[in-house]
Amino acid sequence: MDILQKIHDQLDEYLFQTDSLLPADLDTPFSKFSTINAVPAAEDILLIDAIVSERNTHISTLVLQMANVDSAIRKLAAIQAKLEQDSAHVRGSLLAHRALTSPARRIPPEVLGEVFYHCLSKTPYITPRDVESPMMLTRVCRHWRDVALSTPHLWSSLSIYLQKTTCEDYRRGCASWSARAKSIPLTIRVLNDINMVAADPILVSSVIRWLQPLIAQSSDLWWHGPSLPSLFVPERETNLPIQRLHITTQRDAPSIYFPGTAKRLCSVSLQCFNYDLQSLDAINLPWDNLVELNMHFALFSSALFVQLLTRCGRLRTIVVSCLSADEDQRGALRAFAPGSITHPWLRRIEIKVIRAGLNAIFDALTLPALEELDVCFCYRERDAWPHAAFMEMLGRSRCALKRLTVRSNKTAVPYFGEYMKAMPGLTVFTSAPDPLSG
């Protein structure tokens, strides 16, 4: 360090001395002739040659000094790089030792694991990636890795792409991931991206056998794509932990068979926007267990909607689209005596109506627990709001309806005052953003 200080002082001295390296004034009696085409006299040529020789000496001295400065700069740059490297090492040691006394180091592993859990993506289904949690947490330090790997909740969510399951490495990765969840039920999203038309039946059977143990550990399953035969039938009789099932298909009718062992299944969502659902023959679920049901199809039989309510005796919420009733279906609905379908637990109904038949549905139902009704008409103002049937249903049901929403049908608006007078706690919504309150 003393050497660098001496160099620093000597550089200050050198800067002071540089003024004496050159004459204070480089002008000569001949300078004024440099801009005109003057020819020096013979006696002046010797003087001019002496000045040129002196200037060459000055330039040589300056070039030598610049070379020395360049060399010194390179050496100082090397010294600076070495000092910066040493500083980084010392700073790293400082931070490492300071971290030893950090309060974060004293966080119990179970609390740290809970913190890690809140670092997960907000989406319910995780696609394993090195740059996202929980994998990213395993790359910070050994302690974090140990805590992350021993926290089952971090590994209980998984997205699976079936086309990739033909690769053994992918299967091993999924198996390793799910094994870290230990006894925690899994939340799984399966995307069936296999071309089922050209798929090898042996390959499909292999995929089913591989998937079944994972599904048997799942409490939440979202299946997207064509169904696979016998997928939900476990190899041995067991009480499946599944509680929520979400199935989305694009064109094919969903083919679903859940055995009676799925006694915890309480929430189901089925979506197939290009299929007309007229029967439940291909859908076998523990209907009586369901508390929440969402079914979205291109067309959904109104008669089938009423039948569902008779099967789902514990249902609290049902969301259905798009309800339709042709002449045959309206005839089937009229077969129900007025108020003959009583559902004691149903609190919320949300339906989208594409064809007439809503009045026949209201005629058939008695809903003493109904608190919220949301009706959307696909074709604006085409079908009249069934005021009389609605009022008769409310009268039979004696329910405490709190919220009524009628979208895309102004024919219901004239009756809102009557509804709010009959039920003082009712709030009525239309397509407009502001509610009408009683």
Of the candidate ranges 136-145, 233-242, 269-278, the one whose mean pLDDT is the lowest: 233-242
d(CA 143, CA 153): 17
At residue 438 the predicted structure's pLDDT band, cuts being 50, 70 and 90, is: very low
Q: What confidence tens digit (pLDDT) does each residue in 365-387 have?
A: 999 999 999 999 988 777 889 99
pLDDT at 42 over 90: no
- 152-437 CATH: 3.80.10
d(CA 328, CA 234): 39
More confident: 375 or 68: 375
DSSP, residue by residue, 157-207: EEEEEGGGGGSHHHHHHHHHHHHTTTTSPEEEEEE--S-TTT--HHHHHHH
What mean pLDDT do residues 179-186 have?
A: 93
The predicted pLDDT at position 417 comes to 93
Asked if residues 318 and 348 have their Cβ atoms less than 8 Å apart, the reply is yes
% of the chain with per-residue pLDDT over 70: 93
The predicted pLDDT at position 252 comes to 66
At residue 433 the predicted structure's pLDDT band, cuts being 50, 70 and 90, is: very low
Question: What CA–CA distances, in Å, run from 18 to 73, 140, 164, 344, 430?
Answer: 17, 55, 74, 102, 88
Query: What is the CB neighbour count within 10 angstroms for residue 131?
Result: 7
The predicted pLDDT at position 236 comes to 60
pLDDT at 36 over 80: no
